[in-house]
Amino acid sequence: MKSLFSSTVVWKTAAVVIAMAMAVSLAGTTLAAAPASQINVKDQDITSGVITIDSVTAPQAGWVVIYKDPNFSSGDIVGYAPVQQGVNTNVKVTLDARRVDATAMRAYALPTLWVRLHVDNPVMGLFEWGLHNLPYNDAPVVENGHTVIAEFGTTTSQEVTNTTPAAPATTPAQPAATPAPSTKTAGGASAIDVTTQALNSGVMHVDSVTAPQDGWLVVYKSPNFTAGEIVGYAPVHMGVNTNVPVTIDTKRVKDLSGLWVVLQADNGTPGVFEWGLRNLPYDDQPVSVNGHMVMTGFGITDVPQ
């Protein structure tokens, strides 16, 4: 006589095998659906100090990091910008043109640059790969034993302006302001000169900034000047800075006719913008001269819709 226990064991074993097969099948489907990490970039004219990466597919939030040498050491970094998990398109990266080969720049035939995909661990929104004495936490993405990299050639039509890398800020949406744009500067010796800006490229250029110390140009959508009104920022050095590029979060300025730019100090951790974004402290206060902030308003046109 056939044992009931034996039949039960056979049934349970079959059920387990079927469940395992389904799990493997589902897992295989998930893996197949996940897009491979990749970077697509064409040769670039870097006259503006900003490059555009056509697309980046990232397995998690991270960074695209531009290197001037395939040794990929932190000393070879000439720019970086944040990317989100999934597909990112038209990613703009501000370059530190001072660190691209000067001889090649004078000949208007610049060298090859390399872009590598890094993760964002563990402090989100803070690039940690040896710069500013920060730890090496944001390691390169590795897939199938290889890092995710691409190379591209560079050209320029004129002498490249000195700039330093900056990542655009991502901030919560705020109610639209009604600006009263102006091109007048404030602050005496410390001053900002900027004309009306076409934002079709997502990048504006401040004609000149005179700063009493290293700091930041911070672009606001409202003269309330709160952290929630920030739509872009870029570093400046003590002294005169010319043709400074600032990447603007154009999604947040679609209905505006003007913006404000404020000069702020770099008082906390050097090279890290600390004014309320990403839960960082408010250490980088606005520069004040004779009791007045160094700031100005300016008009904007051609904002992408």
Would you state the pLDDT for residue 30? 39
Q: Which fold has domain 38-155?
A: Immunoglobulin-like (2.60.40)
Quote the DSSP letter at residue 286. Answer: B
Q: Is 67 exposed, middle or buried, given 0-12, 13-18 or 19+ CB atoms closer than 10 A?
A: buried
The residue among 104, 116, 139, 105 whose CA lies nearest residue 66 is 116
* Confidence at residue 110, expressed as pLDDT on a 0 to 100 scale: 54
Question: Do residues 46 and 98 touch, judged by C-beta distance below 8 A?
Answer: no
H helices present in 162-291, as ranges: none
pLDDT means per 10 residues, the chain with 305 residues, are 44 42 42 73 83 94 92 90 90 78 44 92 86 88 92 71 42 34 46 92 90 94 91 90 88 91 90 84 90 91 87
Predicted pLDDT at 249: 87
Give the torsion through C-alpha atoms of 259, 264, 266, 271, to 10 deg: 10
Give the pLDDT score at 28: 44
Residue spans of alpha helices (H) in the chain: 4-33, 102-106
**Can you give the pTM of this predicted structure?**
0.53
pLDDT at residue 210 in the model:
95
Where are the domain boundaries for CATH 2.60.40.10 in the chain?
Answer: 38-155, 191-301
| Sequence letter at residue 144 | N
Q: What is the pLDDT of residue 196?
A: 94
The pLDDT of residue 34: 57
Enter the CATH code of domain 191-301: 2.60.40.10
